Amino acid sequence: MQADTLKKRSLLLACAGLGLYLAWQAWSLSGFIAAETRPPAWDEANHLDVALSYREAAGQGRWADIWWFVPKADIPPFPPLHHLALAVFMGEGRHAWSALWANWFYLALLSAAVFGMAWEVRKDSTALAAPLMIVGAPVVQGLLYTQLPDLALTAWAAAGLWALLKTDGFSDRRGSLVFGAVFAAGMLHKWSYFSYLWPAYVLAARALGKPESRRNVLRAAALAFALSAPWYLVRLPLVLSRLVAAASDFAVPFWKGRAFFTYLLEMPASLGPLFAAFALAGAVRPKSWREPSASRLILACVAASYVFWAVVPNRQMRYLLPGLPGLAVLCAAAWDRRLVWLIAGIQLLAAVNFTHGRIPLLRARAGPASLEFFPSEHPTAEDWRIEEILAESAKRWKGQGAASIALVANDARFNELNFIWTLHRLSRRQGTAVPGGGWSGIRITGPGAGLWELSDFVVLKKGFLGPASVTQGLTAAAADFSAEHSWAQRAFTEARRWSLPDGSIAVLFEKARPLRWCEPGELSLGEGFPSGKVEARGLRLRLENWKAREAVYGRVAVEPEQLCWRGVCAAGPRLELTDAGMVSAAAGPAASCGPPARLVRLGGARVVSASVSAEDLKAFLQSRGLETASLDLDDGIRLRGRFRGVPISLDAALLKTVTYAKLPLKKAGKGHERLAERQRLAGVNVQVRRLALAGVPLPAEWMFRYLLNGPPLELSFGLHETVVSTALRPGGPRVLPFSVDLPGVTVAKGRLSVP
């Protein structure tokens, strides 16, 4: 009886201590939010942008837009719960760092789950040390102050493991249902949730063989499937394809060098040297294996998570972190109480120091591992001038349609994603449209997108462009603006510059009105206009109707011997360009007529005729990641191949084509212009007879809704026609800065032809 009383007292004291710790974390987070003014980094900006889209849609009752949300190109579609949580706390003020309050609730969930597991293993006040250890880890503290979903995933993974312990091998009905619900919540935060609970599947398989627990397994599985599967089923191909690509980023096979032990070597710096050492040592102590089955199950989850993520080529500690909270429980259970509290105290001190930096960073090497004591990350008040740059661009824009801005930079605080997020946020402010334009009339693009030289503005970061791994192509673009008498200096003029916090300079260039490149008439060029992924050979031009005010030719007939785009070459094509502006790319101060030249303005393009063979089209698909086994272009398109290892087959017919037009601006309020939310952007009308992935027939409508994240297509399904269109919100999706007119497409005799 006395022992039970002591346990209850210890439990109450531990819960009170945990509550005080979480209250302090809330106070610390509020100070960070008040002081931090920097724009978010790459991924953080993307998550905030999605959350802002959700907040916008929910505020207007457009819940279907959240369900059918299409992510930016090359970014996997994230499940909705994390972004909805960010949207709830996102403020309307100058910045959206208040969204970090969602992280405090995830931190509380993580702390409660780890404490609950520790209490299962060691029922005394020492259980409080476990959440202090893991929450004080530098990697957890770092995630607390970012908008990434990994802290949320860590919290739900810990909650899932705690719920798994309470199922008692799926013999407890209520515990099994709770586990199923928690599993679904984790999967709706991020797709990788399943990888942290491998032992649960083994326990479930064993429980299926026992009549008394079989129903509980089926109930838990049915609940988890019913809650989470619908979101995945409607976008599974896109999730799979983009995840395979993301997993291969910065890839090093696990069998090469120390790749398999990368996480082990990073743990001292990421978790804290003392905690990492005693947690790993405690996990392998025979004492841990002799303890109750809860310890063995926790150890199995930690070990299985490590093996899985060590094999995945893209290794970042935040990916493994959701599998590591169990280490804190094992550490608290394996050692003497005084040692456990010493480790917890140091982790607590590290957490207090993280945003204050009173204790300087201590760094040392221990063989291949790095030891870091008391790392810190201060909130910083910095203005990266992004709002000013966008405001200046909007003020200067006098043209029709949306102004395009090409960003020649990809730094952590100065990149395309946080420009898009800032633009999206500014467009929500009422009454903030600047004279002569509006936030909604701006698009953000980059040199990597191709045809960026057609942009109306260019923002160049003079100085550090960004890490070398993410600035391919930017160096050459920056050099075009720095070289004397370059084509870029003929096409653009400097409008304004700003000093940035890192010592570099942001320069805004505006499209100039250059002198006439050549007299109207016919011209033969040995080479075409070099423009990113577009190449032309044996080019013949007929220039007509020079417009001096706009510095463009009203009509340009283009007849190259061969025109190639992204490796697809059309033989003998004929095009007509409208409102085309060109400048000489020749070295020297004189703007000579003739090659080399650059196309820097374009109103529209009409494809009069073109023809692409099946072999050329196969080569193009191969370059885009589709290994084509067969491609038949005869009264339709029949394709068989593998996309990133997944078999895919398609049988479709092209019925008609219509014009793909630029989006007009539409008045929407006093002095404020906003792009029409829905426009019938036309393209190719396709009748999809059959679409199958890995041999399984799929509904074509929702497949194309997600796979065609770009210029929309008009799709016909049987007797019903569905227009797959994406509303143009600020900065995305990317649309061409000119109109395209296809008079018709014919598929016959092994060729794709216009008309």
Measured distance CA(320)–CA(309) in Å, rounded: 6
- What is the model's pLDDT at position 114? 97
Closest CA to 599 of 503, 538, 534, 502: 534
The answer to whether the beta carbons of residues 645 and 244 sit under 8 Å apart is: yes
Work out the pLDDT band at 68, boundaries 50, 70, 90. confident
Q: What letter represents residue 534's amino acid?
A: V
Measured distance CA(480)–CA(466) in Å, rounded: 17
- What is the model's pLDDT at position 748? 81
Predicted confidence (pLDDT) per residue in 159-174, tens digit: 999 999 999 989 999 9
Question: Could you tell me whether strands 534-547 and 562-565 are parallel, antiparallel, or unpaired per DSSP bridges?
Answer: antiparallel
The answer to whether the beta carbons of residues 609 and 517 sit under 8 Å apart is: no
Name the pTM for this structure: 0.84
Q: Which residues contact 182 (CB under 8 A, 6 or more apart)?
A: 156, 159, 160, 163
H or E element at residue 716: strand 714-717
Predicted confidence (pLDDT) per residue in 343-359, tens digit: 999 999 999 999 888 88
Measured distance CA(371)–CA(349) in Å, rounded: 17
pLDDT at 238 over 70: no
CB 173: neighbour CB atoms within 10 A?
Answer: 14
Work out the pLDDT band at 664, boundaries 50, 70, 90. very low
CB 737: neighbour CB atoms within 10 A?
Answer: 21
- What is the model's pLDDT at position 704? 54
Q: What percent of the chain has pLDDT over 90?
A: 37
The pair phi, psi for residue 616, each rounded to 5°, is -65, -40
Measured distance CA(414)–CA(506) in Å, rounded: 10
Give the burial string for 677-697 (b: 16+ CB within 10 Å, else e).
eebebbbbbbbbeebebeeee
DSSP letters for 564-601: EETTEEEES-EEEEEEEEEEE--SSSS--SSSSEEEEE
- What is the model's pLDDT at position 243? 62
- What is the model's pLDDT at position 723? 29
Average pLDDT estimate for 621-627: 76
- SS3 track for 452-489: HHHCCEEEEEECCCCCHHHCCCHHHHHHHHHCCCCHHH
Q: DSSP H helical segments within 324-441, as ranges?
A: 325-334, 337-354, 386-396, 416-428
The answer to whether the beta carbons of residues 82 and 149 sit under 8 Å apart is: yes
Measured distance CA(98)–CA(83) in Å, rounded: 13
CB 394: neighbour CB atoms within 10 A?
Answer: 25
Measured distance CA(161)–CA(182) in Å, rounded: 9
The C-alpha angle with vertex 442 and arms to 437 and 444, in degrees rounded to 5, equals 155
Name residue, tokens 């057609």.
454
Measured distance CA(632)–CA(198) in Å, rounded: 44
